[in-house]
Amino acid sequence: MQWETLEIEIRKWMNAFRRIAIVYFPSKQRLCEEVFGKDATVDSLFQNLAKGVVIQLLNFAEAVAMSKRSTEKLFKFLDIYETLRDV
């Protein structure tokens, strides 16, 4: 993938990761608790569902990190790291 295209995808990924972690997961967890009640089984169910989404998101970050290294990519790598750290 060309670096310019990858740079755009990284920005989209950072926005999606923040949105999913800050808005999507908490709202879906509340919905699960309202529908099924607060129980260890419900927590386990939600964690298994969330794990699949998180693994897909982290696979993208891993693929970017495994790409050929160069100095102009360093700041985007740091942006990905900061997004992961902050969330």
**pLDDT 10s digits, 65-85:** 888 888 878 888 889 889 989
Measured CA to CA, the distance from residue 21 to residue 61 in angstroms comes to: 15
CA–CA gap between residue 48 and residue 41 (Å, rounded): 11
| 1 pLDDT above the threshold of 80 | no
pTM, whole model, 2 decimals? 0.78
pLDDT 10s digits, 11-54: 999 999 999 999 999 998 888 888 888 888 888 888 888 898 89
How many Å apart are CA 38 and CA 33, to the nearest integer? 5
Distance (Å, rounded) from C-alpha 67 to C-alpha 9?
Answer: 14
* Cβ-Cβ contacts under 8 Å for 73 (sequence gap 6 or more): 3, 67
Q: What's at 36, amino acid-wise?
A: F
Q: How do residues 26-36 score in pLDDT, each as one tens digit?
A: 998 888 888 88
